Amino acid sequence: MTTLISALEDAVLVEYGEFSIIDPEGAEDTDAEAFSSSWNKETDPGAWLTTSDNMLMVQSMHNMHTTVCTLQLWSAAPPSLELLESEVAEYSFYSSSGQVQLEEMMGSEEEHPSFDLGSRNSKWIVRAYRIQSSASDQTSDIDEHFESYFFQFWLNPDQR
């Protein structure tokens, strides 16, 4: 039986239409491939989610705003969610420290909380949902939540 192990909700500022989920220790791992050579080869050129070792890059449909992200850790592949107005992407990625956190494109003064995946030097599957809000005016200010994101993580049974 698949069980939910933990969850975290956090908000991130989307800048230049992007934000990322990073492994904060990833740059120090000499076993991980460099970002430039490890981008997921399965990703479509127009995909809104791309992956590399220690990083997920998320492309928003909007330029600058705050969005809420929910991260969940599962014991195995969770059931798919049936969400209206959502897009789904599923890829694998490698995490050096077994920790991930949200990151703005231009950085921020406050550090986002780490989300513990539970296992160092492992490959993970992430299923991501980009959910459009029903906000009528999507031009007001950067504090609007035009969309939200939902990320489900579980250990990839096919390790490196």
pLDDT 10s digits, 9-61: 999 999 999 999 999 987 777 666 665 554 555 556 678 999 888 999 999 98
- pLDDT at res. 154: 97
Angle (CA) 7 66 96, round 5° = 45
Query: Number of helices and strands (H, E) in the chain?
Result: 1, 10
Whether 27 and 38 have beta carbons less than 8 Å apart is answered as no
Tell whether the model's pLDDT for residue 103 goes beyond 90: yes
Residue 122 CA: distances (Å) to CA of 32, 51, 118, 158: 10, 14, 9, 10
Q: What is the pTM of this model?
A: 0.85
The tokens of 53 are what? 């070792």
Q: Cβ neighbours of residue 11 under 8 Å, at least 6 residues apart?
A: 66, 67, 68, 69
- The CATH superfamily holding the domain 4-155 is Competence, DNA-entry nuclease inhibitor, ComJ (2.60.34.30)
Average pLDDT, the chain: 84
Q: Cβ neighbours of residue 81 under 8 Å, at least 6 residues apart?
A: 129, 150
- Of 80-84, 104-108, 136-140, 148-152, highest mean pLDDT: 148-152
- pLDDT at res. 145: 64
More confident residue, 134 or 67: 67
